[in-house]
Amino acid sequence: MISDRFRLAVAQLNPTVGDVAGNAELVRKARQEAASQGADLVLTSELMLAGYLPEDLVLKPAFVRRCMKAAETLAVETADGGPGIVLGSPWRSEEGKVYNAALLLDQGEIKAVRCKYDLPNYSVFDEKRVFAAGPLPGPVDFRGVRIGLPICEDIWNDEVCECLEETGAELLLVPNGSPYWEHRAEHRLQVVVSRVVQTGLPLIYCNQLGGQDELVFDGGSFALHADRSLAFQMPQFEAALGISDWKREGETWVCENGTFARLPELDEANWRACVMGLGDYVTKNGFPGVVLGLSGGIDSAICAAMAVDALGADKVHAIMLPYRYTSEESITDAAACANALGIRYDTVPISGPVEGFRSALSDLFAGTNEDTTEENLQSRARGVILMAVSNKFGRMVMTTGNKSEMSVGYATLYGDMNGGYNPIKDLYKTQVYHLAAWRNANLPEGLLGPGGEVIPSNIITKVPTAELRENQTDQDSLPPYDVLDDILECLVEDEMSVGDIEKRGHDRALIHRIEHLLYIAEYKRRQAPPGVKITERNFGKDRRYPITNRFRDRS
């Protein structure tokens, strides 16, 4: 029986929602590796067997049964004398309630079940919809060590950890499913510090890894001693098994040999999140690669670079789709970008399809003036061609619109909004420019793309344009992006009033116009593909506005 020291393995793994057998195998392999290193206990992340977030899969009894059966099988395997496992899984009680649970598996059986008490129901979370709240938990006994198992949200408030400390827990092991957004790692650390100060107990924080639809789980698992010092730090955005030795010193436990991974700065973290979200969406959904329209503009160029970093150049196919308004500069820039990335690049002119549409509509449109209708025919012709290539060869169409455009509806339904996934959906245009320049100067370790200037500098410096009519620029329809993005951040991220935004120096009429565009574009966003969450309030789970909406802030 362990009494004064034990070896812990923190398994920072990348599960796939619904792949119970595959997720169980990840745990099995992590346990085998932990056993080879003499570990006594393996800690996994929240709902590891199900994958996180499982959403309404939890409402399917067959799914919950499969998770429970897999947990029971893993429990039997611990009879081999190797390490125990703290395993996250849905769990149905004898009364029929389904809980978000942490199971202690050891010596061939499920030794204990602890259920999540504090179910989050905000932002991207909606756990009260599918789970029952568990009772306040007490500690579990693992080979002579009294361990508290609060689950994720249970540490964001003080009630659960206070209960565990009062009922004799010696240290806290926390399975987490905490998704990435900007500055999230700092926020997690602040929360953990608060719980350590409150309880006087060491806390080990195991976070999930990987992309799940629009969410990215960045890992970054870590531990704090009872004195708030960092015991170990695991990497962000990569799978890892962290081994640490803990010994009892007086009334507390101390880590003897923690390792400390470097955490990326904000630009690298945002880039890695976009790359991981895209890569996991493509691979977990079984696509052999991606295809995108490469226009010579900044958005498609940065998306191509992210795709190569995520998947490798051989899995990225770029197509230039020129029309009579496409400049030679754009054609040159697109080809240079494709060459720098080493990806397949084809040209498919769209004159024939566009003129065919115009001819088919000529009688119906007789007597009218040309407007955005004819412009949108170009975008929709491109969308049809990209979808045809996708249908023929199986590669997913990647969408390339940024958050600024998605905010104000500067995008064409069934045209440039076509596709399966958008890695820059939650990046404002100014962020896109900034990250493009950053990527040209940096190649994070482990990514699959080349170093050097992968986005030609002319793409970054030239005036942005959709090239749907002669001499068009984005600023014909929109204010400068630094102005637009500041107003949008005020409206979307901070829900500021028009009056407060005006105090920042913006024109009141312009704010009203942007607010109006934001609201009336809601129907487009509802039909947009998913994309990586980067900001605190992405379009989707975070921001749920009605499509039919006459409210306007005129205060």
Binding residues for ATP: 293-300, 400
Conformation bin of residue 371: beta by default, left when phi > 0, alpha when psi is -120 to 50? beta
Find the catalytic residue in 67, 115, 127, 152: 152
Element housing 500 (H / E): helix 498-502
SS3 state of residue 140: strand
Separation of alpha carbons 7 and 214, rounded Å: 35
The sign of the torsion formed by the CA atoms of 114, 120, 121, 127 equals negative
Q: Out of 67, 116, 214, 268, which one is annotated catalytic?
A: 116
Q: Please enumerate, by residue number, every residue annotated as part of a binding site.
A: 122, 178, 184, 293-300, 376, 400, 405, 524
Half-sphere exposure of 407 (CA within 13 A, CB side): 25
367-378 burial string, b = 16+ CB within 10 Å, else e?
eeeeeeebbbbb
Structure token digits, residue 186: 């700092």
Query: Where does 116-183 have alpha helices with state H?
Result: 159-166
Helix axes 298-311, 429-441, angle to 10 degrees: 50
Q: Which stretches of 447-497 are DSSP H helices?
A: 457-461, 481-488
Q: Residues annotated as binding site for deamido-NAD(+)? A: 376, 405, 524
Length of the chain: 555
Residue 381: left (phi > 0), alpha (psi -120 to 50), or beta? alpha
**Known catalytic residue: 161?**
no
Sign of the CA dihedral with 388 first, then 391, 395, and 401 last? positive
| Preceding peptide of 53 cis, ω within 30° | yes
Confirm if 266 and 431 have CB atoms less than 8 A apart. no
How many C-beta neighbours within 10 Å does residue 182 have? 17
> Among residues 46, 127, 214, 515, which one is catalytic?
46
46 is catalytic: yes
CA distance 26 to 45: 12
Task: Kindly list the strands in the beta sheet with 290-293, ordered across the sheet, starting from the edge strand earlier in the chain.
Answer: 344-347, 316-320, 290-293, 396-397
DSSP H or E stretch at residue 303: helix 298-311
Q: Is 462 part of the annotated catalytic residue set?
A: no
The C-alpha atoms of residue 118 and residue 338 are separated, in whole angstroms, by 49
CB burial of 469-498 (b: ≥16 within 10 Å; e: otherwise) equals beeeebeeebbebebbbbbbbbbbeeebeb
Active site (catalytic) residues:
46, 116, 152
